[in-house]
Structure 1
Amino acid sequence: MQKPRLVGVDLCRGIAAYAVVLLHSGDQSWGYISPLASEFRSFFYFAVPFFLATSFHFSMGKVYTGLTVNFWKQRFQRIIMPYIIWTIFYLFSKILIFTINKQPDKIKEIFLDPVSIIFFGGASLQLYYLPILIVGTCSLIIAEYLVKRHTRVSVLALLSIVSTFIYNLFLVSGNDFQLGPNVAFQNIVKLIAPNANEIPLLRIIFVQIAFLIRCLPYLFIAMVFQPLITRKEYTKHINFLTLCLFVFFIVVCSYGKLFLPIAVQELFLGYSLLILGIYLSKYIKNNNLITSLGFCSFGIYLIHTIFINIFQIIIGKNLPVLMNQVTVFSILMISICSFLLSWIAVYLMVKNKFIAKYVFGT
């Protein structure tokens, strides 16, 4: 029997999906970005941390019951199949656009880095999240081992702290995964073996290790919090906790970078929004609109860049003044329109069971 959906988490999934659309609706790569727009965008970096926290939290139930063959099959359907399909789709769409625009040189550029396309989501900027999920899913084997060993919560808490410290050190040293060039450990590589990232196998290994370093804090924190979130002594004070979590989330979004290490801020954002969503589910009744939003959020994440590119072209031709610089107004206009059209498109597409299963992994 399928468990009822947590409506509050569905709402937060929709908010996070919109945050991703907003972040991709205008940045330095578009041209000059106003300081206000840059500051405005910085408020929405909670999206991927939330999605990672949510993925690990809800995977813990499977870990405690045992990772069966059926679990791995479902994960393949949920992550790898959409990754393959959307990679092919974005490659062909780019080839089509460059062919129409008679830009053969750009078609050649697409295939200059096949390693990035195959392993790091290089076909479209948002696809990098899926290889991270694949590594994160594999890391559940570590969690299963710790569960079988009946590892104490104090030990898991220590592992959470140590892995967070390592991840933060990894970030501040500039050795984390760099979206664009799609490499990791670049500063260490420069010191030890300057040409190592030019060797495909080493580059793949470095990036997989980087993804694992990012995933481990989420894994251990999920193991600590998963059994605690629903404990009666906490749920008795759910009104107070929900308010505190909301205020905490807003403060960390707005000012966290001023007083928190970057890795700690990321983890706080992801888990505070997740727990807030779980507690909000106590207040929000079943709502078809919110359920649809949560159900379509993964699809929105995958498809939204199509609509952003369409609006970018339309606005560039008809209202070029809006494209002279990235402003809060232009970000909001493009992101809201792209988000709504993405939602509608995914909602209509998932009505087909084949598309829902293989294209969106639902």
Structure 2
Amino acid sequence: MNKIENKQRLLGIDLCRGIAAFAVVVVHSGDETWGIPVTNGALHFRLFFYFAVPFFLATSFFFIIRNLSENIDLHISLSGNSFQLNPNTAFSGLLSLLDANSIYYSLARFLFVQISWILICLPYFCIAVILNHLLLKNESFVFKKSKFLFFLFLSIFIYVNTFREIFILPELSNIIIAFSLLFIGICLSNYLQESKIIKSLGNCSFGIYLIHPIIKKITGIILTFAAPQITSQITVTSMLCLSMPSFLMSWLVINLLMNNKHLAQYMFGIRVN
């Protein structure tokens, strides 16, 4: 029996969840809506951390499928439909055919957003089904080649994440990035020893995602008084100064809250023994 079969919990994915949670905090640590200057370096730095939400989608579907019966019908075809998702609308071409003052406009706009999210999630679901099936059939191969696969998917993740702007379809680059990081986590699980810190990071990642705006706001107020030169414009340094303590404090708060079994189960979906 190999290590993957022995490990009920994939600690590598827990670690990647924590990295993704930190990425969310970084992305929210400075943008154009703040009304202060943003350096080009900060813009490019922030872009590298946009992998977080696609990764959380990939892991969610991966574990949903993993927890279902192994008898999964894989005769599923990916949709070839294309769509445009603007900041506030989906399928803007179709929406433009309706009168903006019509009673049906708001309803159509809402429905189009729901359809667009279904289409966004469909490839993640299908790939998660296929990936679980392949892992079930080839766990021994993944174990033997985990070091090679780790560096392969790490290279793919870094390359696609760095040059995501050259891809014709942003959705395609997001999928590649998300599942590359997922596979990195699976491969890492072969080498990570049981760790309460990594397990805590994985358990707290969703809570960090939820609570970090409040902690980040408090941290920002403190920095404004303590180091106003840092908060006068958005730079890589200012984003790190805001995101790192915000992330650590959010992790600490969620970890303390999770000591309560009821809070852990009903707020964060974690069952504490």
TM-score (norm 1): 0.67
Equivalence for 1:116: none
1:327 and 1:34 mapped to 2: Cα distance? 6
> Residue 189 of structure 1 contacts residue 197 of structure 1 at CA under 8 Å; is this kept in 2?
no
1 or 2, which has the higher helix percentage? 1
> In the superposition, relative to structure 1, how do residues 197 and 244 fare at CA in structure 2: closer, same or farther (>3 Å)?
farther
Equivalence for 2:50: 45
Shift of 1:213: 1.1
Residue 240 of structure 2 is aligned to residue 332 of structure 1: yes
> Residue 293 of structure 1 contacts residue 343 of structure 1 at CA under 8 Å; is this kept in 2?
yes
Structure 1 unpaired stretches of 5+ = 67-146
Equivalent of 1:243, from 147, 151, 154? 151
2:203 and 2:106 mapped to 1: Cα distance? 37
Shift of 1:13: 0.3
Map residues 312-351 of structure 1 onto 2, 5 A cutoff. Answer: 312-351=220-259
Equivalence for 1:224: 130
State the one-letter code of the partner of 1:52: L
Equivalence for 1:271: 179
1:196 and 1:40 mapped to 2: Cα distance? 42
Residue 212 of structure 2 is aligned to residue 212 of structure 1: no
Shift of 1:198: 7.5
Number of residue pairs aligned between Structure 1 and Structure 2: 261
Cα offsets for 1:122-175 (capped at 9, x unmatched): xxxxxxxxxxxxxxxxxxxxxxxxx4xx444xxx4xx23xx3x43xx32xxxx3
> Residue 95 of structure 2 contacts residue 108 of structure 2 at CA under 8 Å; is this kept in 1?
no
2:74 and 2:58 mapped to 1: Cα distance? 21
1:224 and 1:298 mapped to 2: Cα distance? 25
SS in 1 for 2:192: coil
Equivalence for 2:26: 22
> Residue 245 of structure 1 contacts residue 273 of structure 1 at CA under 8 Å; is this kept in 2?
yes
Shift of 1:192: 3.5
Q: How large is the RMSD of aligned CA atoms in angstroms?
A: 2.1
Shift of 1:239: 1.6
Percent of counterpart pairs with the same letter?
A: 41
2:133 and 2:58 mapped to 1: Cα distance? 15
Larger displacement relative to structure 2 (188-197 or 254-263): 188-197
SS in 1 for 2:96: helix
> In the superposition, relative to structure 1, how do residues 271 and 151 fare at CA in structure 2: closer, same or farther (>3 Å)?
closer
2:228 and 2:143 mapped to 1: Cα distance? 53
Equivalent of 1:301, from 194, 204, 209? 209
> In the superposition, relative to structure 1, how do residues 301 and 218 fare at CA in structure 2: closer, same or farther (>3 Å)?
same
> Residue 9 of structure 1 contacts residue 281 of structure 1 at CA under 8 Å; is this kept in 2?
yes
Cα offsets for 1:53-92 (capped at 9, x unmatched): 00001111344369xxxxxxxxxxxxxxxxxxxxxxxxxx
Shift of 1:36: 0.5
Equivalence for 2:96: 190
Map residues 102-181 of structure 1 onto 2, 5 A cutoff. Answer: 147=72, 150-152=73-75, 156=76, 159-160=77-78, 163=79, 165-166=80-81, 169-170=82-83, 175-176=84-85, 178=87, 181=88
State the one-letter code of the partner of 2:128: A
State the one-letter code of the partner of 1:254: T
